[in-house]
Copies of this chain bind each other. A is one copy, B any other.
Amino acid sequence: MSPQTRRATQADVARLAGVSQTTVSMVLTGTGAAQRRVSDAVRERVLRAIEVTGYAANPAAQRLAGGRTSIVGVYTYESVFPTSASDFYHPFLEGVENEAERTGVDLLMFTSMSAGTGRRLVSSGGVGRLRLADGCVLLGRHSYPEDLAELLRQDFPFAFVGRREAPGGAVPWAGAAYAPATEQVTDHLLALGHRRIVLINEFTGHESIEDRAKGYRVAMARAGLQPVSLDEPDLTSGELLDNLRTAGVTAAVVSSDLAAPLRRAALARGLSVPGDLSIARLGDPETVETEDVDWTGFLIPRREMGAEALRVVLRQLTPLDGDDNLQARIPCTFVPGSTVSAQAADAPAITGKA
């Protein structure tokens, strides 16, 4: 309607309200003490002028002048929407988006720096692009120590979804509390009478794997038992199973990706799960499962991890309250399931060879 096609600026508002542009800014974003310095009468006039002009802040200018934009970057190390990758990213992003909506921040999704494989944030000028945002949530399957170190060095607020470590400082993250969850699962087996309980973990140096091992060891130690680990990465599930039987193992605590293969190997050898071998799973896998098994174990709180990661970023932006914990562990949910059963205390279920 109005012929004016240019967007209103603070200067326009100021002119209409008969005050200085500084005052308009103060009314809008004056921090703490500053905000209070405007008289009610003036504030009223400014507010009215804002309404009349339809003024809305220019985020680029805000950002450049050192203010906040309420934009948080989301950097994923692969693209998100193609269905292949979405199994992994999706639950996390649901959490991030929910929390973003709740707290009123917009999400800047970085997808442009792919350049094929080994896509790195630092080298591709990505860190620079991030600066449009107040902070950034990072999301990827692996570890990216150089990226994280660079972010730390630049003192840029960020959080990784999942525990990560990097040289040069404490990485902020929101991860699953794998240690207590694994401890609980192991305790559950112990309470069922199992004594020969083995941990079967992946053989990466990944932080989350270490956490699971720790929880297992704690539970075993408290029960006065010797932790047993089968760290031969090259074993097939079948060979692994044979080793378990030789060792008289009655229960296995297994990382999420290895549980199904182990169960299949057991069934293939005519064994019953949980009759002959109890299997508990340490986390639900990211891919949709083909078999319909009612696993005993715990669920990874992916949505909560995403939401908390955003909160960890936000916490760095307003370090007002006492809550300055930048490494958040989210509890996992224990699921009773039916791949585990009771075991007479001293009777090894698996004896000799078949």
Interface residue A131 (Cβ < 8 Å from any Cβ of B) = yes
Nearest CB to that of A127 among chain B residues? B56
Produce 1/0 per residue, A78-104, CB < 8 A to B: 011111000000100110111011001
Separation in Å of the A295 CB from the closest CB of chain B?
A: 22
Q: B69–A58 contact, CB under 8 A?
A: no
Nearest CB to that of A92 among chain B residues? B81
Interface residue tally of chain A, by bracket? 35 or more
Q: B59–A79 contact, CB under 8 A?
A: no
Q: A109–B108 contact, CB under 8 A?
A: yes
Q: A81–B93 contact, CB under 8 A?
A: yes
Contacts A5-B154, A98-B81, A106-B108 hold; do A60 and B63 have CB atoms under 8 A apart? yes
Contacts A64-B64, A111-B100 hold; do A132 and B94 have CB atoms under 8 A apart? no
Interface residue A270 (Cβ < 8 Å from any Cβ of B) = no
Q: A129–B154 contact, CB under 8 A?
A: no
Produce 1/0 per residue, A283-307, CB < 8 A to B: 0000000000000000000000000
Cβ–Cβ < 8 Å partners of A83 in chain B: 94
Produce 1/0 per residue, A105-118, CB < 8 A to B: 11111111010000
Interface residue A57 (Cβ < 8 Å from any Cβ of B) = yes
Separation in Å of the A92 CB from the closest CB of chain B?
A: 9
Q: A7–B132 contact, CB under 8 A?
A: no
Separation in Å of the A25 CB from the closest CB of chain B?
A: 15
Q: A154–B56 contact, CB under 8 A?
A: no
Q: B70–A112 contact, CB under 8 A?
A: yes
Separation in Å of the A104 CB from the closest CB of chain B?
A: 5
CA distance A100 to B111 in the complex (A): 7
Separation in Å of the A180 CB from the closest CB of chain B?
A: 28
Q: B79–A98 contact, CB under 8 A?
A: yes
CA distance A17 to B331 in the complex (A): 53
Nearest CB to that of A153 among chain B residues? B5
Nearest CB to that of A82 among chain B residues? B94
From the candidates B56, B61, B71, B106, name the one contacting A64 in the complex (CB within 8 A): B61
Nearest CB to that of A108 among chain B residues? B108
Cβ–Cβ < 8 Å partners of A5 in chain B: 153-155
Interface residue A128 (Cβ < 8 Å from any Cβ of B) = yes
Cβ–Cβ < 8 Å partners of A57 in chain B: 128
Produce 1/0 per residue, A36-51, CB < 8 A to B: 0000000000000000
CA distance A112 to B98 in the complex (A): 10
Between A and B, 14 residue pairs with Cβ closer than 8 Å are: A5-B153, A5-B154, A7-B154, A55-B128, A56-B128, A59-B131, A71-B108, A79-B97, A81-B90, A81-B93, A83-B94, A100-B111, A101-B112, A106-B111
Binding site for B on A (CB under 8 A): 5, 7, 55-61, 63-64, 69-71, 79-83, 90, 93-94, 96-98, 100-101, 104-112, 114, 125, 127-129, 131-132, 153-155
Given contacts A71-B132, A105-B112, 16 further A-B contacts (CB under 8 A): A5-B153, A7-B154, A56-B128, A56-B129, A57-B128, A60-B61, A80-B97, A81-B96, A81-B97, A82-B97, A82-B98, A101-B111, A101-B112, A106-B110, A106-B111, A108-B108
The 8 A-B residue pairs whose C-beta atoms are closest, nearest first, are A56-B128, A60-B63, A56-B125, A81-B94, A81-B97, A60-B64, A107-B109, A59-B132
